Amino acid sequence: MKIGIIDYGGGNLRSVANAIRSLGEEPIIIASPEQAVDVTHLLLPGQGEFGDTMARLEQRGLAGFLKQWIAGDRPYFGICVGYQILFDSSEEAPGVAGLGVFPGVVRRFREEPGLKIPHMGWNSASATGGDTRLWQGLGTDPYFYYIHSFFPEPGDPAVVVAETTYGMQTFAGAVEQGNTFACQFHPEKSQEAGLRLMRNFLGLAASPP
Can 163 be counted among the known catalytic residues?
A: no
- pTM equals 0.95
Can 41 be counted among the known catalytic residues?
A: no
The single residue of 80, 92, 148, 176 carrying the catalytic annotation is 80
Domain around 73: 3-206
Beta-bridge mates of residue 28: 4
Task: Per-residue pLDDT tens, the chain, 209 aa: give them.
Answer: 999 999 998 777 899 999 999 999 999 999 999 999 999 999 999 888 999 999 999 999 999 999 999 999 999 999 999 999 999 999 999 999 999 999 999 999 999 999 999 999 999 999 998 889 999 999 999 999 999 999 999 999 999 999 999 999 999 999 999 999 999 999 999 999 999 999 999 998 644 43
The single residue of 112, 176, 186, 192 carrying the catalytic annotation is 186
Sequence-separated contacts (24+) of 129-135 with Cβ below 8 Å: 129/160, 129/161, 129/162, 129/176, 132/161, 132/176, 133/176, 133/200, 133/203, 133/204, 133/207, 134/161, 134/174, 134/176, 134/181, 134/197, 134/200, 134/201, 134/204, 135/161, 135/162, 135/176, 135/197, 135/200
CATH of residue 86: 3.40.50.880
Tell me how many domains the chain contains: 1
The single residue of 92, 119, 176, 188 carrying the catalytic annotation is 188
Can 186 be counted among the known catalytic residues?
A: yes
